[in-house]
Amino acid sequence: MIISKTPLRASFFGGGTDFADYFHNSRFGYGSVISTALNMHVYITVNKRFDNKIRVVYTGNELVESAKDVKHNIIREALDITGIENGVEIVYMADLPMTDLGVGLASSSALAVGVLNALHVFKGEYVSPKDLAREACDIEINRLGQQIGIQDQFAVAYGGFNRYIFNADDSVSVTPIILSTDERETLLNNLLLFYTGNPRDSRAIFAEQKKTTRDRKDIYDSLVEATDRALEYLKKGDLDEWGKLLNETWLIKKKFASGVSNPLVDDMYEKAVNAGALGGKILGAGGGGFMLLYVPPSKQESVRSALSDFKEIDFAMDMQGSRIIFSD
């Protein structure tokens, strides 16, 4: 039996510049994202079956004769990549509710990376985080035709708090953001996470966004520049300026597509800012899911009161990426 554990992620700055349509044509020669892995996880259990059938358990339950008959698209493609045709049982669990609509924490990419990791180890193979991310991109973008970027697959494969640079030649650079333990705790203590109660279909938002990427390169350029500013604020310890930059980039992100925000999200964000939040954003494509807010400690109770209708989620950074936690 093999069990993999793969973190979800929160993207702070640069989301959208990880689309190939942008970084292949960027005036910088790259796109850039700052994100962290979270202590919320996807778990994949892989076990050999007595017979030669394949069983897949998630919100559904499949028992089929071969890999090509599996209906779950990500798991089916992972089986194909790893060359496993039958005789295996795969169980998918997560710390958050599993939904086809998504919540903005890269759960589908965590599933892809996690199941690939577990299946490779099941076969006795070690695959690096870079290769796991590449294979997950192949599944989601090439095989399944999803109109998405490539930051999520790398963020959940590598884990940690990093800057990712997506180069025009398709190489990816991963640079850890080094903070002392106290600095990291101070940053985390200034961040609040709330669930909007509204899952959203990111596919429609990303599809609309992708159509206009090349026509709005100046907007995406400003997001790349924001990642540089964010790093400078962290180096100087200017955390409040870092938080205000979240607000600045959220206002830019709302221009990407009509579904990025909506009256619920706008009202929720306005209440938070009026109560003392310096900045924030909807994680992922937008439209719903989770809202991340930067709030000085003196204003946090006011913000919690203003958003009392929404569930607050405790979180921390996970400095590890996808890993095997049991192998027997």
> What pLDDT score was predicted for residue 25?
92
Distance CA 77, CA 144 (A): 9
User: Which residue would you say has higher pLDDT here, 238 or 261?
Assistant: 238
Domain locations in the chain? 2-178, 181-312
Smallest Cα–Cα separation from 157: which of 328, 318, 327, 23? Answer: 318
- The confidence score (pLDDT) of residue 285 equals 60
pLDDT tens readout for residues 74-125: 999 999 999 999 999 999 999 987 665 567 899 999 999 999 999 999 999 9
3-state secondary structure of 194: strand
- Cβ neighbourhood burial of 260 (10 Å; 0-12, 13-18, 19+): buried
What is the DSSP pairing of strand 172-176 with strand 88-94? unpaired
Q: What are phi and psi of 164, to 5 degrees?
A: -110, 130
In the chain, the percentage of residues whose pLDDT exceeds 70 is 91
Exposed e or buried b for every residue in 187-209, given b needs 16+ CB within 10 A? Answer: beebbbbbbbebbbbbbebbbbb
Tell me the CATH architecture of domain 181-312: 2-Layer Sandwich (3.30)
pLDDT one-digit tens code per residue, 194-221: 998 865 555 555 555 555 666 678 899 9
Rounded mean pLDDT of 233-253?
95
| pLDDT value of position 216 | 75
> Which region, left, alpha or beta, applies to residue 289 given φ > 0 means left and ψ of -120 to 50 means alpha?
left
Structure confidence at residue 254 as a pLDDT band (50, 70, 90) = confident
* CATH class of segment(s) 2-178: alpha beta
Overall average pLDDT of the 152-181 stretch: 97
Q: CA angle, corner 268, sides to 265 and 270, nearest 5?
A: 105
Residue range 51-69, pLDDT digits in tens: 999 999 998 999 999 999 9
- What residues does 205 pair with on adjacent strands? none
At 290-309, the pLDDT tens digits run: 999 999 999 999 999 999 99
